Structure 1
Amino acid sequence: MTTHAVPAARAVPAAHAVDLDTLLRQHEVEQLYSYESALLDAHQYEEWVDLFTEDTHYFMPLRRTMTRRQLHLEFTKPGEMAYFDEDKQFLRTRAKKFATGTSWAEDPPSRTRHLITNVRVTGDSGDELVVQSNFLLYRTRLKSDTDQWVGRREDTLRRTENGLAIAKRFVYLDQTVLQSGNLSNFF
């Protein structure tokens, strides 16, 4: 009979040790993202827009294939061509249009699943958090249309009297060419 030695447990390096406040902050952020995903997947777009601050900036640049030396030019900048470059009023207008049933790209509505992972708080000024996360958005429409978008998000979350709100969201797709017929969804 062969036995396998179990490796000894390793202590977490001090640089990666986490205190209770850090765990609670991480939990608060992840709960916001879980709630946000549930709203989007249930087509509750107007409630989703309420998660954003009045001065929000929602931006999804184009991605271009570049050489290593030109990677700093891979994504377009605000003010340049983008899939989305919106404020809260524009988000609200899109959400209301979906609710009317007059948006041909969403009638019948898409079935979506928003998966958010690798959530990392990378900055904390007290009133605002800088958060990076990865996402997979799966969408199926009609009988057999399917689309997937994969990428990362860089958010600024602001503490308000109602909890955390999204003050800025930049969405960076991994794809350079989109195969979908439209972008009638939120990331």
Structure 2
Amino acid sequence: MTDVTRADVEDFLFHEADLLDQWRLPEWLELFTDDAEYQVPCMDLPADASPDTNLFYIADDRFRLGERVKRLMKRTAHVEFPHSKTRHIVGNVRLKPRPDDDIDVSAVFTTYRSKDGITDLYLGSSNYRLTPTEDGFKIKSKRCVLDTDALRPSGRISIVL
């Protein structure tokens, strides 16, 4: 952890956001470890809620995340074909070392999604567990907690936050 700076982590998170905005989802998927988790809990749940006992919007392990990416990249994913235009903005990045070599990272996000003449706004906080590698980092877990009262107007999350 002593060699890792906040700027290093921010560059990684900015790279992740850029991959998502360009719909380079297969490359984005490669940022995750083989045992990774990606979660988006419902907005009425406490921060420490578990997908084992609560309903989540998204609770994917690495395999399910891979299937989600494959599905979103196909023309038959009608809700996202043609793809939405998105802009992921990341800020307030904070690092917390762990006893192992991993790093806990918290950040806030704003994601704009434009499709069919409607622009949706998703905002919240992301909590990551990053594993340092020779080439940078891998995502061991990512949890996006939405800070809005409701999903509007479509009532769904069809993009990756």
TM-score (normalised: structure 2): 0.90
Q: Report the counterpart of residue 78 of structure 1 in structure 2.
A: 51
The unaligned stretches of length 5 or more in structure 1 are 1-20, 66-72
Of all paired residues, the percent bearing the same amino acid is 30
Alpha-carbon distance between aligned partners in 2 of 1:130 and 1:108, rounded to the nearest angstrom:
35
Q: Structure 1 residue 62 and structure 2 residue 36: aligned? A: no
The CA deviation at 1:75 is 6.6
Q: Deviations over 1:37-88 (max 9, x none)?
A: 11000000010010011101111111228xxxxxxx4674221100010011
Is the Cα–Cα contact under 8 Å of residues 158 and 165 in structure 1 kept in the other structure? yes
- CA distance in 1 between counterparts of 2:67 and 2:114 reads 23
Q: Is the 8 A contact 1:124 1:130 kept in 2?
A: yes
TM-score, with structure 1 as normaliser:
0.78
Deviation at 1:168, TM superposition (A): 0.7
Structure 2: state its 5+ residue gaps: none
Q: Name the SS for the 1:77 alignment partner.
A: coil
SS of the residue aligned with 1:100? coil
Distance of aligned partners of 1:147 and 1:22 in 2 relative to their CA distance in 1, 3 Å threshold: farther
- Whether the 8 Å CA contact 1:61–1:75 is kept in 2: the answer is no
Q: Give the corresponding residue for 1:69.
A: none
AA aligned to 1:146 is T
Q: Secondary structure at the match of 2:150?
A: coil
The structure whose Rg is larger is 1
Count residues with an aligned counterpart.
159
In 1: Cα distance, 2:17 partner to 2:123 partner: 15
Whether 2:149 is the aligned partner of 1:176: answer yes
CA distance in 1, matches of 2:110, 2:126: 11
The runs of at least 4 consecutive aligned structure 1 residues that moved more than 6 Å come to none
Which structure shows the bigger proportion of residues in helix conformation? 1
Q: How far off its partner does 1:176 sit?
A: 3.0
Quick check: 1:155–1:170 contact (8 Å CA) kept in 2?
yes
Greater percentage in strand: 2
**Match in the other structure for 1:49:** 29
